[in-house]
Amino acid sequence: MTAVRREAFGRMPPEQGGGEVEKFVLESDSVKVEILSLGCIIATLETKDRNGKFSDVVLGFDTLEGYTRKHPFFGAVVGRVANRIAKGKFSVDGKEYQLFLNNGPNSLHGGARGFDKVLWSPQILPDGVCFFRLSPDGEEGYPGDLKVWVSYTLNGRQLSINYRAQTSKTTPISLTNHAYFNLAGQGSRDVYDHEISIEADSYLPVDDTKIPTGEVAAVQGTGFDLRQPVELGKHLQKFHLDGFDHNFCLQQVQSPHLVARVHHPPTGRTMEVHTTQPGIQFYTGNNLDGSLKGKGGITYTKHSALCLETQNWPDAVNKPHFPNVLLQPSEEYNHTTWLVFNTA
C-alpha cells in the first residue's frame, strides 16, 4: 500500500505570480518520495540501503526559496522540449519558430520559463499524484495549446512517471524529469564509486555547444560503451573524460524495457531505469561548481550526482533522421519511465 498526503510547502514570490506551492508525500515500505506542485519537482527520494537504513538520494533544497532561484533543474519536469534545440529555431508546416536562447546559442529545457518554473494543478490518485497544466499557444515561442498531465505513482519499490499531452497545433514535445541522483545519499562528495550500465549500442556525438552533430556513433571500442557495468570514476580516468552529457540511443520499441542500471556497492543501493522513450541523456553533474548550497547546507560540487533523463533525442526537431518529436492534433503523446530501487 502507498500512503499519499499533501502539505503546504510555501508561497511563490509575487514577481513569480504568487500562488501556493504544495508538497505531495508518497510512501511505501521501501521508498518515500516528496513531489512539489512547482515544476512537478521530486524534492526528496528516500530509499533503503542493505541494512534497511533510509537516505535521501536526490539533490535539491530544504525550502521553496532554493527552487525559486536559479538552479540546474533539480528534480524538475522540463519541457516543452527537454534538452537543446540548435539556435532555438525550428520549422513546422513551412512556418519558422524562434525560441528564447538560454544556453549559449541554443534553447534548453523549454526556454526562459519552462515547465520547471510554473505551478501545476494537482489531483491525488490512490497511489500517487497527477499534475496538469495548459501551456498556451505561443508560450516560450512554441505553437499550439498543449494540455499536459504528469503522473507520479509509487508501488512498493517502483516509482512510475507518466507523461501525456494533447495539442491544438503540430508542436515538438519531449518531456523528462531532471532528478540528480547520488545513491550514497545526497550531499556525498561524488559518484565515482557508482557502477553504471546503459543498454545502448550507439550514442550522439555533440559539437562544442552540446548540439548533436547528426552522426549516430557506435559505442563499441569507445568510452561510451556502457553495456557492461563500469565504475564511474575509474572509467572517466581510463578514457580521459571530463564527464558525460550525451544522449544514448535506445531500442526503438514502444514496450517498456530496462535501459540503465546504477549500483552503489558500499550501500548496496541499486536503481534501474525502464522506459518507453527512444533516448536517455546521461549527465554527470559536470556544471555543479560548489556555488549552490543544497539540503542540510551541503555544497554541491562537480560530479556529486548523475542524471539519467529519458527523452527524445536532442535537436530531433531539426534532424529528420532522428526519432519523430512532433505531436499532431490528432494524436496523444504518452510515455512512461519507471525507476526501480533495490538493494544488492
Catalytic residue numbers read 178, 309
Phi, psi of 329 (to 5 degrees): -55, -25
In a domain, 240, yes or no: no
In a domain, 214, yes or no: no
pLDDT confidence bin for 253, thresholds 50/70/90: confident
CA distance 190 to 284: 10
Q: Tell me whether residue 245 is annotated as binding.
A: yes
pTM higher than 0.75: yes
In a domain, 67, yes or no: yes
Domain span holding position 288: 3-194+282-343
Q: Tell me whether residue 84 is annotated as binding.
A: yes
Q: Tell me whether residue 179 is annotated as binding.
A: yes
Tell me: the pLDDT tens digits for 279-330?
999 999 999 999 999 999 999 999 999 999 999 999 999 999 999 999 999 9
CATH of the domain at 30: 2.70.98.10
Mean pLDDT of 219-241: 98
Domain total in the chain: 1
Q: Tell me whether residue 83 is annotated as binding.
A: yes
pLDDT of residue 254: 79
pLDDT of residue 252: 85
In a domain, 312, yes or no: yes
In a domain, 286, yes or no: yes
In a domain, 80, yes or no: yes
Residue the block writes with cell 505551478 = 119
Helix (H) or strand (E) holding 172: strand 171-172
In a domain, 143, yes or no: yes
Tell me: the pLDDT tens digits for 175-207?
999 999 999 999 999 999 999 999 999 999 999
In a domain, 225, yes or no: no
